[in-house]
Amino acid sequence: MNDLTSLTLKEALDGLAGRRFSSVEITRAHLAAIAAARELNAFVLETPDKALAMAEACDARIAAGDAGPLEGAPLGIKDLFCTNGVRSTAGSRILGDFIPPYESTVTANLWRDGAVMLGKLNMDEFAMGSSNETSAFGPVVNPWKSRGSNRSLSPGGSSGGSAAAVAADMVLGATATDTGGSIRQPASLTGTVGVKPTYGRCSRWGVVAFASSLDQAGPLAKTVEDAAILLASMSGHDPKDSTSLPVEVPDFRHSVGRSVKGLRVGVPKEYRVDPMPPAIEALWTRGVEWLKDAGCEVVEVSLPHTRYALPAYYIIAPAEASSNLARYDGMRYGLRVDGATLDEVYDRTREEGFGPEVKRRILIGTYVLSAGYYDAYYLRALKVRRRIADDFTRAFETVDALITPTAPSAAFGLGDSAADPVAMYLNDIFTVTVNLAGLPAISVPGALDDAGLPLGLQVIGRTLDESTMFSLAGVLEKAAAFRAKPQKWWIR
């Protein structure tokens, strides 16, 4: 039998259903892989006892012929998702050892379908970051290394722990969240597949809030088909979330491998940034040719307000964050630092509880919402957001999807952008428009650059048309034939 941790989710589910191995066996294999890869710092909490108990229950259901769609599959959970009875911190000191007495809807859906929880995955604090360096638990290390270098690289963020765990074969798949690119950018930097679904496709209930009008849960996986399987389980209407869409969930797996002949795919001319790294330009060109070879018509389209997306995003997201994070005051749960007065308790708790990046965004958000600046910044940003969404609406009148690069670079060194927040924010240049417009998008690994690091292609779909998006992604995945894996240097 091959190493069980090298299997894709689909292969593992087939093996479990065929009784070629048990859930306990594959769970033990992944727990051993996690223990051997602690140098990557992908997990902030391992839950081996819970995982094995869940695996035993899965094996009993499989034996009884009562298996769910994910029965017995060991997964990792981003620490932004509240898990009943299991510490959930959002990567922040301010939540301390908070143990939720409830389960997020997304993770409840996974357990309903038979998945096994291996533990909680590292992330940028409150999902604020593009390098997984703002976590209170320290940075995650990308499993990939540049050719001929031993330097530690970033896995991207904020879902860096999820991406690293998938890339290093510590999990069969992982939950993640995407507010401005936090699923797709890490996917691109780690050679994995990441899906940001339509806003409202997955419930936000029980997911610690960053920017409520932008946050959306989605999967990180090894293949497009694996991502489709996970998204089907994660999705569904939830009356506890007022933004959850009351729509049926398609079986996204059936879209992977479907013919795309006759589809029209747009190439946004505004996404050609200057300077565009040659390797990314070359991959984008190849991606277009792959779609043409599959029978697609590829045309240039214009999204004229793209240039304003990053400024608008970095007004709207901090504004919503400043409001959402006001609840962390040391009164009800989490960290509490005593003081002589109530105001002093608030001040000391928030000073010690929040990291520098979270404080920066709270201050920006408070500023743009303050009297005298609300109209000049926040309202104007909302108007720009509307224009960006209108650009996509017009584009989708003539095309079925869009193809772009996912990120402006391959994985970069830990610490490279830590002192320059603007440089870090620019990592989201190809992804934030999708969140502002509420659209679905997927990142698919397409090639290695000259340093041997993975690069991703992004497919953007119409609202609630993840099916077409998965079909196109499947074509790109097949044409790219990306089989590269990081060398397991952490196993000594």
User: Cis peptide before 158, with omega less than 30 degrees from 0?
Assistant: yes
Q: Would you state the pLDDT for residue 91?
A: 98
For the chain, helix, strand, coil in percent to 5 are: 40, 15, 45
Q: Name the residues annotated as catalytic.
A: 78, 158, 182
Cβ(237)–Cβ(247) below 8 Å: yes
Closest listed residue to residue 443, CA positions, set 157, 226, 186: 186
In this prediction, residue 2 has a pLDDT band, given cuts at 50, 70 and 90, of low
**Environment class of residue 173 by beta-carbon count within 10 Å: exposed (0-12), middle (13-18) or buried (19+)?**
buried
Q: Give the pTM.
A: 0.96
Q: What are phi and psi of 211, to 5 degrees?
A: -130, 105
Task: List pLDDT tens digits, range 390-448.
Answer: 999 999 999 999 999 999 999 999 998 766 777 777 889 999 999 999 999 999 999 99
Q: If you average pLDDT over residues 255-282, what whole number do you get?
A: 94
Q: Please determine, for residue 1, whether its predicted confidence score (pLDDT) is greater than 50.
A: no
Q: Tell me which of 3.30.70.580, 3.90.1300.10, 3.20.20.210, 3.80.30.20 is the CATH number of domain 1-492.
A: 3.90.1300.10
Q: What is the pLDDT at residue 416?
A: 87
Asked whether the predicted pLDDT for residue 200 surpasses 90, the reply is yes
Residue 346's CB is within 10 A of a number of other CB atoms, namely 17
Question: Is it the case that residue 137 has pLDDT exceeding 60?
Answer: yes
DSSP state of 140: P
Average pLDDT value over all residues in the chain: 96
Burial class (CB in 10 A: 0-12, 13-18, 19+), 104: buried
- The CA distance from 163 to 332, in Å, is 33
Q: Report yes or no: 168 and 488 within 8 Å, Cβ to Cβ.
A: yes
The pLDDT value given to residue 421: 75
Does the pLDDT of residue 73 top 80, yes or no? yes
CA gap 257, 149 in Å, rounded: 37
* CA–CA dist 222, 15 (Å, integer): 17
**Cβ–Cβ contacts within 10 Å for residue 248, how many?**
9
Residues paired with 74 in a beta bridge = 116
The domain spans of the chain are 1-492
Q: What pLDDT does 50 receive?
A: 98
CA nearest 395: which of 456, 458, 460? 460
- Give mean pLDDT, residues 75-83: 98
- Is pLDDT at 215 greater than 50 in this prediction? yes
Cβ–Cβ under 8 Å, residues 198 and 245: yes
216-221, strands of its sheet edge to edge: 43-46, 116-121, 74-78, 173-178, 216-221, 193-196, 441-448, 454-461, 401-405, 264-268, 297-301
